[in-house]
Structure 1
Amino acid sequence: MSILNKLKLRYKQGNIVEKLIYINIAVFVITILINVLQGLYANSTNFIVNWFALDNSINALFTKPWTLLSYGFLHADFLHILMNLIVIYYIGNLFLEYFTQKQLLTFYLLGTFFGGVLYLFSQNYFPLFEGDNSVLVGASAGISAIFIGIATYIPNYQIKLRFIGFVKLWHLAAFWIGLDIISLIGNNAGGHFAHLGGALFGFLYVNQASNKEIKLFDYLSSLFKKKEKPLRTVHKNKNKTRKTTSQNTDLTQKQVDAILDKISKSGYDTLTKAEKEFLFKQGKK
């Protein structure tokens, strides 16, 4: 099997994270090759960058509207793409433990879109960028949406970093955002505005979804609390029967509360099969 066929097979069998990595690498390689070929003819303008990077001029957007998404698959240099692909590999696979592949692609594309929107706003609103001519490239806005999205969903999830130890995910997310904020007046200020645009989308989307989920589970909890069955009375050993029934009801309610608390913190998918069956049976009573 040739190398090309192996790559095709790996792409076909890979998850959405691996496919995004392959696509970004392919686009990067093609961009370099075209850059070299055009350089031989003393042409310094790469037509891929010219047609698919996001220009800071709003007028250019009317002639190239696709650039609000296509810029998210271009990269400036090897270090730029390397750092982005490392982050999306680890964070993206963590994201897939709690969300679907379709949702990850949605976060990547919409994060890229909203990052581009905030980039355009910053370049055309703030006096600092007046008169500048720049273009935006890079997957960082889409990756920021994925990163901040999963950090919002499981903020206390711990990742082990070499030489540092275990660090909570929300600490890493706060550091990520902090770097973007302090770089808003640097050389790559437009890029950092784009990162914040993607991060804002990831936070708001997951935060809204989580609030709906929490309200749902609070409602279910209230239903369980209101549906406690009345104590049965038996003439024989009357006091003992009442005490036993009350203890069983209290124990069941504690189990339900513990499961609902686990769902609100980690999501329904983290429940064991036994816990799901128990919750289902209690809901039918």
Structure 2
Amino acid sequence: MSIWGEIKSSFRLGSNLTRLIYINLGVFLLFGLLRVFLFLSASSSGWITGFMAVPANLQSLMVRPWTIVTYMFYHEDFLHILFNLLWLYWFGQLFLQFFAQRQLTWVYLLGGISGALLYILAFNLLPPFKGYAEVSLALGASASVLAVVIAVATLQPNFTVYLLFLGAVRLKYLALATVVIDIISIPVSNAGGHIAHLGGALFGFIYVVALRRGTDLAKPFYSISSIRFPKRNRMKVTYRSHNADYDYNYRKAQKQKQIDDILDKIARSGYDSLTKEEKDILFKANNRNIN
């Protein structure tokens, strides 16, 4: 299989975490190469950021409403996307131990939108930013990633992770430190970025609080998403092989639904509410599907 074929197969058959990482990388490479082409042809590339990043100016936002989504997949600097995707990978894997695949997708998207909305509101309503809304743009996946991080930390505050130089740290302290750093950094530099981070973090917290009360804030969006079970549209040589492929995909879908139901139960009532059979199913699934 070619490299491109492997990438397509990994995207189609991988987890939602894999897809989110691939989309961010794909957008970064696409516009990075486009900038090189424009530079070599002596053309301006400034319009790219204006096309993808979300503006604080309300009139500009009305002209480019798609940017409230595209900004969370768009990065200009290598280090920016590197650190965002490392956090997304680490905490995305942790997120999927307690939540369903579709929840990761929508916490990422809705967390990013929440971050954009708080950023836009702050730059249009707060006195320190008066006049800056006309020229300010926000970009990057940080708000979306913080939504994922804070959601996991809110659900499992005492879960321990091991950090380089720091050793064992509970998620609640890591989440608190991240939020505090963003708050105290607002007057120092990149105020719009830090405010967007806080918007994403706020959504992650509210999402889990609501989930514990029986309300999944992302549920209205599940019906419009088909990301969980990609269909394979390959032509089969014989009728028998077509049926075998159909049966395999059906069993796989049913198994994934069973796992998602168990993860939903954990989010609502905690791990201890599971039966022994449900714990066995989850244990076997985690040992087979390491992303």
Match in the other structure for 1:194: 196
Partner-residue secondary structure (3-state), 2:186:
coil
Match in the other structure for 2:238: none
Write the deviation string for residues 94-119 of structure 1: whole angstroms up to 9, x where unpaired. 10011111001010010011100001
Match in the other structure for 1:268: 273
Partner-residue secondary structure (3-state), 1:65:
coil
Match in the other structure for 1:144: 146
Partner-residue secondary structure (3-state), 1:159:
strand
* Inter-CA distance 95–268: structure 2 relative to 1 (3 Å threshold): farther
How many Å separate the matches in 1 of 2:270 and 2:169?
Answer: 18
Match in the other structure for 2:156: 154
TM-superposed CA distance for 1:77, in Å, is 0.2
1:134 to 116, 133, 136: 136
Aligned residues: 226
Which of the two has higher C-alpha Rg? Answer: 1
* Inter-CA distance 12–273: structure 2 relative to 1 (3 Å threshold): same
1:169 to 164, 168, 171: 171
TM-superposed CA distance for 1:212, in Å, is 4.2
How many Å separate the matches in 2 of 1:134 and 1:10?
Answer: 37
TM-superposed CA distance for 1:42, in Å, is 3.3
Match in the other structure for 2:244: none
Identity of aligned residues (%): 42
How many Å separate the matches in 2 of 1:98 and 1:275?
Answer: 12
* Inter-CA distance 43–127: structure 2 relative to 1 (3 Å threshold): farther
Q: Which amino acid aligns with 2:121?
A: F
Write the deviation string for residues 220-273 of structure 1: whole angstroms up to 9, x where unpaired. xxxxxxxxxxxxxxxxxxxxxxxxxxxxxxxxxxxxxxxxxxx8554635x533
C-alpha contact 1:104 1:146 (8 A) present in aligned 2: yes
C-alpha contact 1:54 1:68 (8 A) present in aligned 2: yes
C-alpha contact 1:154 1:266 (8 A) present in aligned 2: no
Q: Which amino acid aligns with 1:146?
A: V
Q: Which amino acid aligns with 1:187?
A: S
Q: Which amino acid aligns with 1:27?
A: V
Unmatched runs of 5 consecutive residues or more in structure 2:
216-267, 281-291
Q: Which amino acid aligns with 2:156?
A: I
Matched, 1:92 2:95: no
How many Å separate the matches in 2 of 1:149 and 1:275?
Answer: 22
Partner-residue secondary structure (3-state), 1:160:
strand
Write the deviation string for residues 56-83 of structure 1: whole angstroms up to 9, x where unpaired. 2111111111111110000120000000
How many Å separate the matches in 1 of 2:205 and 2:272?
Answer: 16
> Map of 1:1-285 to 2, 5 A cutoff?
1-132=1-132, 133-212=135-214, 264=269, 266=271, 268-269=273-274, 271-273=275-277
Partner-residue secondary structure (3-state), 1:151:
helix
* Farther off after superposition, 97-106 or 30-39: 30-39
Q: Say which structure, 1 or 2, has more relative contact order (CA 8 Å, 6+ apart).
A: 2
Q: Which amino acid aligns with 2:276?
A: T
How many Å separate the matches in 2 of 1:98 and 1:265?
Answer: 9
Partner-residue secondary structure (3-state), 2:162:
strand
How many Å separate the matches in 2 of 1:184 and 1:80?
Answer: 18
How many Å separate the matches in 1 of 2:9 and 2:55?
Answer: 36
How many Å separate the matches in 2 of 1:71 and 1:52?
Answer: 5
TM-superposed CA distance for 1:130, in Å, is 2.3
How many Å separate the matches in 1 of 2:107 and 2:169?
Answer: 24
* Inter-CA distance 210–2: structure 2 relative to 1 (3 Å threshold): same
How many Å separate the matches in 1 of 2:15 and 2:139?
Answer: 24
TM-superposed CA distance for 1:207, in Å, is 1.0
How many Å separate the matches in 1 of 2:112 and 2:272?
Answer: 26
* Inter-CA distance 275–162: structure 2 relative to 1 (3 Å threshold): closer
